[in-house]
Amino acid sequence: MTSDTYDPSIYPPFAVVVDLVVLTIRDHQLCVLLVERGVEPHKGRKALPGGFVGIDEDLETAAYRELAEETGIKGKHLHLEQLATYGEPNRDPRMRVVSVAHLAFVAELAEPEAGSDAAGVSLEPATLALRWRGNKKLAFDHARILADGVERARSKLEYSTLATSFLPKEFTVGEMRAVYEAVWDTEIDPRNFHRKVMASAGFVEPTGRTTTRGGGRPAQLLRAGPARHLDPPLTRP
Amino acid sequence: MTSDTYDPSIYPPFAVVVDLVVLTIRDHQLCVLLVERGVEPHKGRKALPGGFVGIDEDLETAAYRELAEETGIKGKHLHLEQLATYGEPNRDPRMRVVSVAHLAFVAELAEPEAGSDAAGVSLEPATLALRWRGNKKLAFDHARILADGVERARSKLEYSTLATSFLPKEFTVGEMRAVYEAVWDTEIDPRNFHRKVMASAGFVEPTGRTTTRGGGRPAQLLRAGPARHLDPPLTRP
DNA sequence: TCAAAAGTGTTCGTAATACACCCATGG
DNA sequence: CCATGGGTGTATTACGAACACTTTTGA
């Protein structure tokens, strides 16, 4: 804030919206939730979900609300954080729109089209959506927002415990490895990964049960531990 | 963005401002640039510099403009990045204000009070300003913004080459070590630090000249190298 | 000749990698 | 009994912390 006085008759109107980069893992790929625009501008193109912030609504509250409206997700088992704010004067041709983008990590949603609002909801591989060109290009500056979100996700997995946000409440080490491999788009040695995850204090805790989903020897079922930061970090090759 | 239509007669007015966390090193301490408020609310308190975004002005452009107005700094030898956006409904009692905070690293400014606008500009140790309580407390939610900025600065030094932004164009390894010690508030082994900095490809390059300012054996004068990221990172103890 | 800061060499313990190997299940 | 993934042990290498030591100036 500044000490300048505010005069509404001079000060021009800004619209403030939240846009969401909702990431999830599907088929061993990092996927992003997109909606198809029904109106101009960019009618027919895919866009990040989002909407206006209410006058008495916190930014984070608005982001959670949009997420629920768009996906039907309401549970507490997800991660949502502010990503960055995009405010180029002409990013929306209709008026001056400042978008506070948020980044969400969610566990596999059972057919997200079940969401209330938008019929045109889809899940697309993130790297694919980033490469769309021509009239398939993402609306507005959403390709840039998505790129920033993907890069943030990649680095967050290194030094935070947020990989668990992509997983159901109970999971195996192998399933967590699949998350890292999908987000980083690399292969990871299963044996060393196993050791690092189990040795990292507070990352995961055993439930005592096992599962054989996925075949092979039964794997321990784990749940997320209390730690928020990963020390030492898991580094990508 | 969303497909909702926009109706200005319904949509309430938001003010969009940029606030600046301007950090520099002074007396071996990490310091922040503050201005004293001349009007209510929070009249007489220190606050982060900032101001309204123009209707045709990019967020980053607005941040550079405010920085120049507040400090007189115009040169290209500084770093400025977006920090985060703060939009709680009641963070400003006058109206709904969304603040896009930016973080700047600058080399020692020669008495910043020389700046054009504000007479009440001062440089205060960051950790001190964060501890102010009662009627000396920072205005609005600026203590939280400052805390976020300091934490970001601390971690940026680990994996980026931005320490050079705190230094003049030419500097010595010892002067850079002083930056790390001030920002991290730790002591660092000079010998190991020297080796790491010089071994890190693209971090610094020799100018060929030396200096004896600071006493002792002449030190190589260095300038910032082309690298933006530090690999391997410098880790705090 | 002493203090002070720059810079180099070396030791030593830990951490990461690569991979051999064993385990426990389903088909 | 074989394929599949889970999980353990271990040798080798790489790296970082600690610190002894040398260098080059100003006072």
pLDDT of B28 reads 95
Mean pLDDT of B126-135: 97
pLDDT reading at B114 higher than 80: no
Distances (CA, A) of B194 to A137, B26, B187, B191, B225: 48, 22, 14, 5, 15
> Is the pLDDT reported for residue B1 higher than 80?
no
Q: Please, are residues A66 and A51 in contact by the beta-carbon 8 Å criterion? A: yes
Which residues of chain B have a CB within 8 Å of the CB of A99? 1
Give chain C positions with protein CB within 7 A.
Answer: 3-9, 15-21, 23-26
Check whether the bond before A232 is cis (ω within 30° of 0).
yes
The answer, yes or no, to whether residue B176 has pLDDT greater than 50, is yes
A102 beta partners = A20, A82
| Nucleotide closest in space to B232 (CA vs C1') | D15
**Which phi-psi region, left, alpha or beta, contains residue B27 (left: φ > 0; alpha: ψ -120 to 50)?**
left
What pLDDT, on the 0 to 100 scale, is given for residue A186?
Answer: 97
> Residue A3 has what pLDDT?
40
Residue nearest to nucleotide C3 (CA to C1'): B216
What pLDDT, in 10s, does the model give residues A153-185? 999 999 999 999 999 999 999 999 999 999 999
Interface test with B, best of A2, A58, A91, A231 (most B CBs within 10 A): A2
Q: Which residue is closest to D23 in terms of CA–C1' distance? A: B217
pLDDT reported for residue A2: 41
B165 and chain A in contact, CB less than 8 A: no
Which of the nucleotides in strand D have any atom less than 7 Å away from a protein CB atom? 3-9, 15-21, 23-26
CB of A231 within 8 Å of any CB in chain B? no
Q: How confident is the model at residue B111 (pLDDT cuts 50, 70, 90)?
A: low
- pLDDT given for residue B6 in this prediction: 53
Nucleotide D19 C1' to residue B191 CA (A)? 10
Segments of chain A scoring below 50 in pLDDT = 1-3, 114-115
Rounded mean pLDDT, B18-47:
95
* Torsion B88-B89-B94-B100 (CA) sign: positive
Out of A39, A58, A96, name the one closest to residue B3 (CB). Answer: A39
What long-range pairs does B37-40 form, CB within 8 A, spacing at least 24? B37/A3, B37/B139, B38/A3, B38/B120, B39/A3, B39/A5
- How many angstroms is C1' of C20 away from CA of A198? 21
CB contact under 8 A, A14 and B16: yes
Give how far Cα B206 sits from Cα of A87, B169, B211, B216, B217, Å.
Answer: 40, 12, 12, 19, 16
Q: What is the DSSP letter of A54?
A: P
Question: Distances from the Cα of B84 to the Cαs of A46, A61, B156, B231, in angstroms?
Answer: 26, 16, 15, 26
Contact call for A97 and B1, based on CB within 8 A:
yes
Tell me which residues have their CB below 7 A from strand C: A 189, 191-192, 195-196, 210, 212, 215-218, 232, 235, 237; B 172-175, 190-192, 194-195, 198, 210, 214-220
Give CA B91 to chain center in angstroms: 22
Query: What mean pLDDT comes out for the span B172-194?
Result: 98
Question: Do the Cβ atoms of A89 and B58 come within 8 Å?
Answer: yes
- Is the model's pLDDT at B190 over the cut of 80? yes
Q: Which nucleotide is nearest to B195 (CA to C1')?
A: C7
Which whole-number Å values give the CA distances from A41 to A32, A45, A124, in the listed order?
Answer: 21, 9, 22
Burial of B121 (0-12, 13-18, 19+ CB in 10 A): buried
Residue B162 has pLDDT above 80, yes or no: yes
Task: Say whether B16 and A95 touch across the interface (CB within 8 A).
Answer: no
pLDDT at position A129 is 98
How do B121-125 and A46-47 pair as beta strands?
Answer: unpaired
| pLDDT-based confidence at residue B2 (cuts at 50, 70, 90) | very low
* Encoded tokens for A103: 């980044």
Q: Spell out which residues of chain B touch residue A94, defining contact as CB-CB under 8 Å.
A: 6
Q: Work out the minimum CA distance from A100 to partner chain B, whole angstroms.
A: 7
End-to-end CA distance of chain B: 43
Q: Is the pTM of this model over 0.75?
A: yes
pLDDT at position A71: 79
Instruction: Render pLDDT for B209-226 as a digit per residue (tens, 0 to 9).
Output: 999 998 899 999 999 999
What DSSP state is assigned to residue B134? Answer: G
State, as a whole number of angstroms, the distance between the CA of B88 and the C1' of C7.
Answer: 52
* Contact at CB, A16 and B50, closer than 8 angstroms: no
